[in-house]
Amino acid sequence: MSKLYIWRAASVVQETSDTITIRFNTGNEYFLYKAGQFVNLTILIDGNPVTRSYSLSSVPGLDAAPSITVKKIQGGLMSSYIVDHYTSIDHWQVEGPYGSFTPPSQCSQVVILTAGSGITPVYPIAVSVLRSQLAARVTIIYSNRTAGSIIFRKQLEQLKERFGERVNIIHVLSQDGEQLLHGCDELITGRLNRIILKKLIKKYVDTPASAHYFICGPSLLIKLHQDCLQSLTVPTGNIYEEWYHPEATAAAIELPTQMHEVMFHFYEQSNLLEVQPGSNILHTALQERIAVPNSCNNGTCGKCAAKLTSGNIVMKQNYVLRKEELEAGLVLLCQSYPLNSDVTVEIGS
């Protein structure tokens, strides 16, 4: 199971007008993580604990301490509080790391497709690949509104200076872009579309169908990237996605209309759950006071992943489990509804 840490902020860097990076003081406590993973962060807001997931924006093995990068989102309770009141936060409760949005040990070509704050998990991936695989090439296609909203702009310039031809950086600015940015291979002005994206990939990637793609950003942009990669016949196993704010599933899924029993093995404990119509397995387990790890409740973080060993379930949404994980029987309990009373799921077997 994951470990809980209590950290302090060592320093804060203003990345853009609405984005900061918090570098933590871990008190010399060992913290092992991979590029692309995230943590669950809990702080007190008006006396109430609030928990959200944040990607680790530091580079493991390079940066001295872990860090997160937070962009203030309109209507976002925690992001707004952190950006506006970080100086008043004495302790940060951190749990993790979590996530499988990580690069494979061998990948000669990596393409980063991102926008806005989606750069936070993929920047460490790009750096880690370039540092650990000496023949690897990385292409970053990064969309923003203006040059001033580019998170890690200086770091990306330094990345280009250090690795030269091994890294291509293409900025896409929807609202301005009069001149080429320093440390940028190409600047596209206007909104990214499928035709432009396809041309960029073919221009900078030698063999698009064999490259590994890491996608993080708004839902509409992720769907654009998916459509483009499908037209390039990229295998689904080469596509990695991290969803921050997914849209609700458009297609209606028929949910069970009667109660079903579920056998839930949670480490050394076995529990027979009665899952009522309209309720998912995670909700029922939490009602029974079973401390199942969970965070997003919308199928994006993967923290509540379990193995289905018998029976049938339907998942409402899944933005994190890959094809091979689904084939191995993994399911997301926050999205899982039993279709019969023969269902058995387990965590920590």
pLDDT tens digits, one per residue of 38-73: 999 999 999 999 989 999 999 999 999 999 999 999
- SS3 string, 22-91, reads EEEECCCCCCCCCCCCEEEEEEEECCEEEEEEEEECCCCCCCCCCEEEEECCCCCHHHHHHHHHHHHCCC
Flag whether 248 is in a domain. Answer: no
The C-alpha angle 36, 223, 318, rounded to 5 degrees, equals 60
Same domain (yes/no): 127, 92: no
Where residue 87 falls among pLDDT bands split at 50, 70, 90? very high
Residue range 143-166, pLDDT digits in tens = 999 999 999 999 999 999 999 999
Flag whether 188 is in a domain. Answer: yes
CATH of the domain at 66: 2.40.30.10
Question: Which residues on neighbouring strands pair with residue 243, listed in sequence order?
Answer: 217
Flag whether 183 is in a domain. Answer: yes
Query: What DSSP state is assigned to residue 256?
Result: P
Same domain (yes/no): 181, 292: no
CATH of the domain at 302: 3.10.20.30
Q: Is the pLDDT of residue 250 over 50?
A: no
Question: Which residues on neighbouring strands pair with residue 343, listed in sequence order?
Answer: 262
Flag whether 196 is in a domain. Answer: yes
Flag whether 227 is in a domain. Answer: yes
Q: Is the pLDDT of residue 175 over 60?
A: yes
User: What percent of the chain clears pLDDT 90, i.e. is strictly above it?
Assistant: 79
Omega before 97 within 30 of 0, i.e. cis: yes
Flag whether 186 is in a domain. Answer: yes
- Return the pLDDT at 2: 67
Query: What DSSP state is assigned to residue 192?
Result: -
Pairing of strands 3-16, 92-98: antiparallel
Rounded-to-integer distance, Cα 307 and Cα 302, Å? 12
Flag whether 9 is in a domain. Answer: yes
- Return the pLDDT at 177: 64
Tokens, residue 14: 């203003």
Domain residues for the domain of 16 are 3-98
Rounded-to-integer distance, Cα 232 and Cα 205, Å? 12
Residue range 204-221, pLDDT digits in tens = 999 999 999 999 988 888
- Return the pLDDT at 294: 87
- Return the pLDDT at 298: 86
Tokens, residue 345: 């799921």
Residue range 100-142, pLDDT digits in tens = 899 998 999 999 999 999 999 999 999 999 999 999 999 999 9
Flag whether 339 is in a domain. Answer: yes
Q: Is the pLDDT of residue 248 over 60?
A: no
Rounded-to-integer distance, Cα 319 and Cα 29, Å? 32
Where residue 7 falls among pLDDT bands split at 50, 70, 90? very high
CB contact at 8 A, 245 and 296:
no
- Return the pLDDT at 137: 97
CB contact at 8 A, 107 and 137:
no
Where residue 93 falls among pLDDT bands split at 50, 70, 90? very high
Across the chain, mean pLDDT equals: 92
Question: Which residues on neighbouring strands pair with residue 70, listed in sequence order?
Answer: 20
Same domain (yes/no): 221, 330: no
Same domain (yes/no): 115, 239: yes
| Domain boundary pick from 74, 98, 122 | 98
Rounded-to-integer distance, Cα 124 and Cα 51, Å? 23
Higher pLDDT, 14 or 245: 14
CATH of the domain at 166: 3.40.50.80
